[in-house]
């Protein structure tokens, strides 16, 4: 334990980046970064990509250095291209074609290959990398839809205009009341079961036609020379027989259960690749997460926190500290809900994400205000009407001025650091000036609301009893 933590600690110390600043950039509580820093826990594979993105936003050199330390780079020179560093440092193997693996996503124009390989990794992990049994196209496609559901349906990210995965997801009948929305389904078990119960014939027919065959082209390029790859490509038809014939010699990632494309229903992963993926799972998945993030960032250039929206959240973060903040304010001030005008007290307080969590993907205090449980439930993940904006800013100002009187200067600065970092406020005292706070919020909230609206989030919500 601690490989990523050791790399992170050295980078933070070298680049003089505080744990609090990194936690704020990641949208996590500081104790989480503290545990990584002191090697008590190691970040998950997907989180490594998030860390790289957060470091790059704070200090580009820190991101590059972290990658080199984390992957154990022996190169004497650095590269400013962090993605290239990932590609170059997939662990080598004398028996396997790692160069082919690194080219899996070359010339990719849609999400299919990323989701196929991600889903294959998930299935292998669940099977403990046992490859004695074939993996059916049906199982992989259910996994693909499950992996695509959160970024597309819950977080409303675009996969691209022509991406058919998104179209299929939009047709699925998944109620907003499903337990999966309460982040208790880390393995996507309930989501997979819900998706598998629906009619997937068209999705299976679409994805099995191309994706399983195109993905392993890099492993069999010498055997494919002279075969048409243009419009009306002959590669897909030829690949199953070639993969099966060369399975032991060329060692592609997998072979098929038939030599004929139209009769293929499953794949069989090469045991040596299964052993490689098991041994280097964290690094391979981190590389995949980075490639997937870059693809999605290009298709959602203005969307905040892309790296936090690509995988199912294992759980929602605790709002304990934020709740304590507002409870302390309630002890000194009478506060009414900005949506319903009802009085709030410490017995009925519920914290609302003014911009919904499913859009911002964080629990920063500047976006949280006290409300009532029934109001919060009614608002759900909708964008409030602009008529509430003035009251929102005034309530935030009340919280800031009240806690400023209650706390020492050092304690208060620690509490309000997210305001300073995220809102670009240069002087701490500006937080106490309601006009300057209003201007800072307007510059932050207005464009984010517009982006959320363009992504399909409901806007102009008002509370109705």
Residue ending a domain, among 292, 308, 336, is 292
Residue ending a domain, among 89, 106, 136, is 89
Could you tell me if 375 and 234 lie in one domain? no
Distance between CA atoms of residues 145 and 173, nearest Å: 13
Distance between CA atoms of residues 427 and 213, nearest Å: 57
Could you tell me if 199 and 102 lie in one domain? yes
Could you tell me if 72 and 104 lie in one domain? no
Could you tell me if 266 and 151 lie in one domain? yes
Cβ atoms of residues 272 and 96 within 8 Å: yes
- pLDDT at position 23 is 83
- In a domain, residue 280? The reply is yes
Could you tell me if 105 and 143 lie in one domain? yes
- In a domain, residue 302? The reply is no
Residue ending a domain, among 62, 89, 116, is 89
First to last CA, the chain: 52
Angle at 100 between CA 97 and CA 106, to 5 degrees: 170
Cβ atoms of residues 257 and 267 within 8 Å: yes
Please tell me what DSSP assigns to residue 228: -
- In a domain, residue 304? The reply is no
- pLDDT at position 81 is 46
Q: Copy the structure tokens of residue 14.
A: 């070298």
- In a domain, residue 78? The reply is yes
- In a domain, residue 303? The reply is no
Residues with pLDDT less than 50, the chain = 1, 73-88, 178, 180, 231-232
Could you tell me if 137 and 277 lie in one domain? yes
Could you tell me if 124 and 260 lie in one domain? yes
Could you tell me if 210 and 142 lie in one domain? yes
Strand partners, 344: 335
Strand partners, 353: 368
| Span 127-181, pLDDT tens digits | 999 999 999 999 999 999 999 988 988 888 988 877 888 888 888 777 655 454 5
Cβ atoms of residues 58 and 22 within 8 Å: yes
Give the three-class secondary structure for 268: strand
- In a domain, residue 126? The reply is yes
- In a domain, residue 297? The reply is no
Give the closest residue to 270 by CA, choosing from 100, 453, 148.
Answer: 100
Could you tell me if 281 and 185 lie in one domain? yes
Residue 133's CB: how many other CB atoms inside 10 A? 9
Distance between CA atoms of residues 31 and 17, nearest Å: 15
Residue in the block written with tokens 């706070």: 437
Judged by phi (left if over 0) then psi (alpha if -120 to 50, else beta), residue 183 lies in left
Could you tell me if 267 and 220 lie in one domain? yes
Judged by phi (left if over 0) then psi (alpha if -120 to 50, else beta), residue 226 lies in left
Q: What is the dihedral angle through the alpha carbons of 293, 210, 229, 237, rounded to the nearest 10 degrees? A: 150
User: Domain containing 56 — which CATH number?
Assistant: 1.10.260
Could you tell me if 234 and 362 lie in one domain? no
Query: What's the structural domain count of the chain?
Result: 3
Instruction: Find the domain containing 82 and state its range.
Output: 3-89
Cβ atoms of residues 60 and 80 within 8 Å: yes
Give 39's contacts (C-beta < 8 A, 6+ positions apart).
Answer: 1, 2, 5, 6, 9
- pLDDT at position 1 is 47
Could you tell me if 379 and 419 lie in one domain? yes
């Amino acid at each position: 334990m601690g490989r990523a933590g050791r790399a992170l600690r050295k980078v933070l110390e070298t680049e003089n980046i505080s744990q609090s600043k990194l936690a704020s950039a990641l949208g996590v509580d500081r104790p989480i970064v503290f545990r990584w820093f002191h090697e008590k826990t190691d970040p998950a594979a997907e989180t490594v990509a998030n860390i790289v993105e957060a470091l790059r936003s704070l200090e580009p050199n820190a991101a590059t250095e972290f990658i080199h330390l984390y992957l154990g780079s022996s190169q004497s020179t650095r590269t400013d291209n962090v993605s290239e560093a990932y590609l170059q440092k997939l662990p080598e193997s004398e028996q396997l074609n790692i160069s082919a693996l690194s080219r899996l996503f070359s010339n990719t124009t849609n999400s299919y290959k990323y989701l196929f390989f991600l889903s294959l990794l998930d299935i292998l992990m669940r099977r403990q990398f046992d490859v004695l049994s074939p993996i059916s196209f049906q199982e992989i496609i259910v996994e693909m839809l499950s992996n695509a559901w959160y970024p597309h349906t819950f977080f409303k990210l675009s996969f691209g205009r022509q991406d058919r995965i998104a179209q299929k997801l939009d047709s699925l009948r998944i109620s907003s009341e499903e337990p999966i929305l309460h982040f208790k389904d880390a393995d996507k078990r309930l989501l997979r079961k819900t998706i598998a119960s629906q009619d997937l014939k068209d999705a299976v027919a679409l994805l099995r036609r191309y994706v399983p065959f195109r993905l392993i082209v890099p492993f069999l390029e010498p055997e494919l020379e002279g075969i048409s790859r243009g419009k009306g490509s002959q590669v897909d038809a030829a690949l199953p027989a070639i993969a099966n014939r060369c399975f032991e010699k060329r060692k592609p990632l997998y072979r098929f259960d038939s030599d004929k494309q139209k009769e293929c229903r499953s794949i069989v992963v090469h045991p040596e690749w299964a052993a490689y993926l098991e041994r280097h799972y964290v690094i391979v998945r981190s590389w995949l997460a980075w490639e997937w993030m870059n693809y999605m960032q290009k298709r959602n250039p203005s969307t905040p926190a892309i790296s936090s929206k690509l995988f199912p959240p294992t759980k929602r973060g605790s709002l304990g500290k934020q709740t304590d903040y507002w409870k302390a304010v309630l002890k000194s001030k009478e506060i009414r809900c900005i949506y319903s005008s009802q009085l709030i007290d410490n017995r009925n307080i519920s914290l609302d994400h003014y911009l919904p969590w499913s859009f911002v993907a964080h629990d920063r205090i500047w976006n949280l205000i006290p409300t009532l449980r029934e109001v919060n439930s009614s608002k759900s993940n909708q964008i409030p009407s602009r008529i509430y904006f003035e009251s929102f800013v005034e309530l935030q100002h009340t919280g800031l001025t009240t806690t400023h009187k209650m706390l020492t200067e050092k304690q208060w600065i620690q509490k309000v650091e997210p305001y300073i970092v995220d809102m670009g406020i240069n002087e701490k005292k500006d937080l106490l000036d309601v006009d300057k706070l209003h201007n800072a919020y307007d510059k932050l909230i207005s464009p984010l609301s517009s982006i959320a609206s363009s992504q399909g989030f409901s806007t102009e919500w008002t509370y109705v009893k």
